[in-house]
Amino acid sequence: MTYVEMTDMSELIPAAPVPGLTLEPVDRRAPFIPGLLARIGDPHGWKSASRTEQEWAAWFAEYPDRTFWLHTSSQDHPRALPNYHRRGFRTFKTEQVEHDPEDTH
């Protein structure tokens, strides 16, 4: 697993704008977040992809000020890490993680 960070917004290297696309922040408790993370993360083995409603409630209670954090792993799309680096993120930690074929999340 590779962890990336950006410690100051001045480090951001924006991508070229996409005509007609706007991004707006949403409340982290927006009802579509669990389903979105499940659809995106399931093919990549993200643990958040299989959280139940109760597990999400417990997660939000445990981390009341936390937003969603970027990390990538060998299970993510091959272009994920290079894209983070192009945007100004830098790798600060890597770990070798054994993938359990029985693990579905």
Contacts of 94 (CB under 8 A, 6+ apart): 1, 2, 3
The residue ranges of every structural domain in the chain are: 2-8+30-94
Contacts of 3 (CB under 8 A, 6+ apart): 71, 91, 92, 93, 94, 95
76-104 pLDDT, tens digit each: 788 889 999 999 999 999 888 675 544 44
5-46 pLDDT, tens digit each: 999 999 999 999 999 988 788 887 788 888 888 888 888 788
Task: Give pLDDT, residue 3.
Answer: 87
